[in-house]
Amino acid sequence: MRPQCCSLTKIEFVMEELQVTRKTAAKYLDELVRIGLLSKHKLGKDNYYLNDALYTLLQNVSANPAALI
């Protein structure tokens, strides 16, 4: 099981967590891309799905940790 705090995922993680086929996992992720919750990035032969809002938030917090206080 992978940490839930990550802003990046791939089809295999969804397949494992939801116990669905590759086709179903890809369909779910592509729908999240379509509605703007994720963006899709091809690295090598794999597609990775990025939660852009979470990634931006994590970048901002790491650049300015005092913002959490």
CATH number at residue 56: 1.10.10.10
Cα–Cα distances in angstroms (integers) from residue 7 to residues 21, 45, 55, in the given order: 22, 20, 6
According to DSSP, the β-strands at 8-10 and 46-50 are: antiparallel
Q: Which of 32, 63, 67, 38 is nearest to 53 (CA)?
A: 38
- pLDDT of 35 reads 97
Number of domains present in the structure of the chain:
1
- pLDDT of 61 reads 82
41 has pLDDT over 70: yes
Percent of the chain whose pLDDT exceeds 70: 83
- Across 41-49, average pLDDT: 91
Residue reference for tokens 């990550």: 6
Q: Which of 41, 58, 59, 57 is nearest to 49 (CA)?
A: 41
The domain of 12 spans 8-62
- Across 5-27, average pLDDT: 88
Percent of the chain whose pLDDT exceeds 90: 58
